[in-house]
Amino acid sequence: MELQSIKNRFAIIGNSPALNHALHVAVQVAGTDLSVLINGESGVGKEVFSQIIHSLSARKHNPFIAVNCGAIPEGTIDSELFGHEKGSFTGAVDSRKGYFETVNGGTIFLDEIGELPLGTQARLLRVLEAGEYIRVGSSKVQKTDVRVIAATNKELFDYTRNNKFREDLYYRLNTVPIRVPALRDRKEDIPLLFRKFVTDFSDRYKSIPVQLDEAAKAVLINYPWPGNVRELKNIAEQISVLSQEKIITGQELKGFLPEHNYSRLPVLAAGANAVSQSEFANERDILYKLFFDMKKDVNELKKMFFELMQNPAVAQHAPIFTEDNAMLDRNSLHTGSSSNQPVFLQHNGNAIQQHEDVEESLSIVDKEKELIIKALKKHKGKRKDASLDLGISERTLYRKLKEYDIEE
Write the CATH number of the domain with boundaries 3-181: 3.40.50.300
- Computed over every residue of the chain, the mean pLDDT equals 81
Q: What is the mean pLDDT of residues 253-278?
A: 54
| Residues 107/49, Cβ–Cβ less than 8 Å | no
Across the strands, what pairs with 211? 247
pLDDT score at 270:
40
Across the strands, what pairs with 248? 212
Please report, rounded to a whole number, the percentage of residues in the chain having pLDDT higher than 90.
57
Write down the domain spans for the chain: 3-181, 185-256
Q: Which of 269, 278, 217, 209 is nearest to 245 (CA)?
A: 209
Separation of alpha carbons 88 and 137, rounded Å: 5
| Residues 202/61, Cβ–Cβ less than 8 Å | no
Which one-letter DSSP state was computed for residue 385?
A: H
Separation of alpha carbons 55 and 61, rounded Å: 8
Instruction: Dump pLDDT digits (tens) for 318-342.
Output: 554 444 444 444 444 444 444 444 4
Residue 383 confidence class, pLDDT cut points 50, 70, 90: confident
Instruction: Dump pLDDT digits (tens) for 56-102.
Output: 999 999 999 999 999 999 889 999 999 999 888 888 888 999 999 99
70: Cα separation from own chain's centroid: 15
Residue 290 confidence class, pLDDT cut points 50, 70, 90: low
Instruction: Dump pLDDT digits (tens) for 209-222.
Output: 999 999 999 999 99
Separation of alpha carbons 147 and 128, rounded Å: 8
| Residues 362/355, Cβ–Cβ less than 8 Å | no
pLDDT above 70 (res 4)? yes
Burial call 224-247: b when 16+ CB within 10 Å, e when fewer? ebebbbebbbebbbebbeebeeee
Q: Which residues contact 91 (CB under 8 A, 6 or more apart)?
A: none
Is the pLDDT higher at 354 or at 39? 39
380: Cα separation from own chain's centroid: 34
| Residues 321/345, Cβ–Cβ less than 8 Å | yes
Question: What's the Cα-to-Cα distance from 46 to each of 11, 69, 91, 158, 329, rounded to whole Å?
Answer: 13, 14, 34, 20, 72
pLDDT score at 305:
66
Which range, of 186-195, 241-250, 305-314, averages the lowest pLDDT? 305-314
Separation of alpha carbons 257 and 236, rounded Å: 10
pLDDT above 90 (res 304)? no
pLDDT score at 90:
81
185-256: CATH topology? Helicase, Ruva Protein; domain 3 (1.10.8)
Please report, rounded to a whole number, the percentage of residues in the chain having pLDDT higher than 70.
74
pLDDT above 90 (res 247)? yes
Terminal Cα distance for the chain, rounded: 67
Instruction: Dump pLDDT digits (tens) for 104-157.
Output: 999 999 999 999 999 999 999 999 999 999 999 999 999 999 999 999 999 999
| Residues 98/67, Cβ–Cβ less than 8 Å | no
> In 10 A of CB 384, how many CB atoms?
10
